[in-house]
A and B are shown apart, each in its own frame.
Chain A
Amino acid sequence: PPESVPPHAFCCFSSCSSWLPQRVPLQGSHWQSSLLESRTSLPVRAQPKKKKKVDVKKEQAQKERMKKKLKKLEKAAPELIPIEDFITPLKYTESNRVRSLPALSPEESERRVLLLKKWCLFKQKQDKAEKKAIQALVDSQQEALQELQLESEELYQAAIRRDEGLFPFERDGPSYTPPLPGYDPPEGKCTDITKVYTQ
């Protein structure tokens, strides 16, 4: 509405922006014509103005509804995806079949117990050797660092710092057999059928 009226006409008007032109003494006929334009444009603008108001209200209501929905969804805490490994499938709990083992002779059970003891001893030796190796590694490392410190302080400080290029560290496990040379695998594809959980 104020677009049709020239801007400097407003300096005479009150601060509360009423677009109705006030009874102010105007000078010049061009102003009168502009006022007339604004007057005639009043009824023309009435219709679209209503639509705008209703639209604005509707939009606001919609926005508020969306905000409420968002708040409700955000209130619910995020859930962890259930891990299928830890859920026993039902078919293993339904059946009642029991395994019947044959009876062991005393020699057999004696042999088994002695074998178990030998295995325990072997594993204990292995574990002790591993611990000893770790301790030896740590000791030699400390000794080397002390010597380095005596040699030069700068290098010692640089050696103590953490290595940024170490992570991420990736390594494949060893394999029983190396890959066959010249093996031609059949054509095929691999599809991911993991179940997608949504909250």
Chain B
Amino acid sequence: DALLGCHRSYRSRPTHGIGRFKYLLPKEVPKRRKEKVQMKEISAGTEYQYGDLNIQMTSYDLCLVEHFAQHVHRLCNRLSIRVNESYAMPTKTNEVLFLEERGSKMQLDAVLTTHQRVVQIRGLSSTFAPILLEVIQSNQPEGVHLLIKEHTEADFKSRLKSRPELEELLAEMS
């Protein structure tokens, strides 16, 4: 097929395969289809090791929380703790209104955005867990709220878009 790509195929002649050029171009990587978002298995962990843990960092300040998440990720890499995923949760926007001193109208004070980053780790040994917590706490910046909990399916589902039509149909069927 390589040599016969061109319609002029005079195999006996020295000019056979004269129009070939595809072999000179760089190899094209086949385009990957969009992979379906599927939940990975949640490990429960053994008696001496914790399963999947989520380190969730929440703050109003984006740069701070982003840098702290990077710091925690690098710390886990350095301490050879396996990091499954490091992702961001959707941002929440809050509108703060306050009542004016003289008047009944609510005035807009500020629009606050809450950002959350999650670092998911697996296989943290029970003896090392308190040390890791100490280190993370000592580096915790101001205004960043730390929460460490076990990973559940509900946590994963909260990242996905809601499907009201599907839920309606399911409710009708049952």
Inter-chain contact count A-B, CB under 8 Å?
A: 154
Residue contact A198 to B162, C-beta cutoff 8 Å: yes
In the assembled complex, which residues on chain B have CB atoms less than 8 Å from the CB atom of A92? none
In the complex formed, the residue of B with least CB distance to A172 is B145
A141/B127 contact (C-beta < 8 A), A80-B160, A162-B45, A168-B148 known: yes
CA distance A130 to B134 in the complex (A): 11
B23, CB-defined interface residue at 8 Å: no
B9, CB-defined interface residue at 8 Å: no
Residue contact A145 to B148, C-beta cutoff 8 Å: no
Residue contact A83 to B91, C-beta cutoff 8 Å: yes
A-B contact pairs, 26 of them (CB 8 A): A66-B173, A78-B37, A78-B161, A79-B160, A81-B90, A82-B90, A84-B113, A134-B131, A134-B135, A137-B134, A138-B128, A162-B50, A162-B126, A167-B150, A173-B59, A173-B140, A173-B141, A174-B140, A186-B99, A187-B99, A188-B99, A192-B92, A195-B93, A197-B161, A198-B162, A198-B163
Interface residues of A in 181-199 (CB under 8 A from B): 186-199
Residue contact B147 to A81, C-beta cutoff 8 Å: no
Interface residues of A in 114-137 (CB under 8 A from B): 130, 134, 137
A74/B127 contact (C-beta < 8 A), A162-B49, A190-B94 known: no
Q: How far is the CB of A90 from chain B (nearest CB, A)?
A: 18
Which of B11-19, B24-32, B164-172 contacts the other chain? B164-172
A residues adjacent to B (C-beta < 8 A):
66-67, 69-70, 73-74, 77-86, 130, 134, 137-138, 141, 145, 160-163, 166-176, 186-199
B149, CB-defined interface residue at 8 Å: yes
CA distance A98 to B162 in the complex (A): 42
In the assembled complex, which residues on chain A have CB atoms less than 8 Å from the CB atom of B153? none
CA distance A187 to B99 in the complex (A): 5
Q: Which of A73, A176, A193 contacts B163 (CB 8 A)?
A: A73
In the complex formed, the residue of A with least CB distance to B98 is A188
* Given A168-B147, A188-B98, A197-B161, 13 additional A-B pairs, CB 8 A: A81-B159, A166-B133, A167-B50, A170-B148, A171-B146, A173-B142, A173-B143, A176-B142, A188-B106, A192-B94, A194-B90, A199-B161, A199-B162
B33-74 contact mask (Cβ, 8 Å, vs A): 1 or 0? 000110000000101111001000001001000000000000
CA distance A143 to B89 in the complex (A): 41
In the assembled complex, which residues on chain B have CB atoms less than 8 Å from the CB atom of A73? 163, 165-166, 169
Give the residue among B47, B49, B88, B166 with the most A Cβ atoms within 10 A: B166
B115, CB-defined interface residue at 8 Å: yes
CA distance A189 to B97 in the complex (A): 5
In the assembled complex, which residues on chain A have CB atoms less than 8 Å from the CB atom of B130? 166
CA distance A67 to B173 in the complex (A): 8
CA distance A189 to B110 in the complex (A): 11
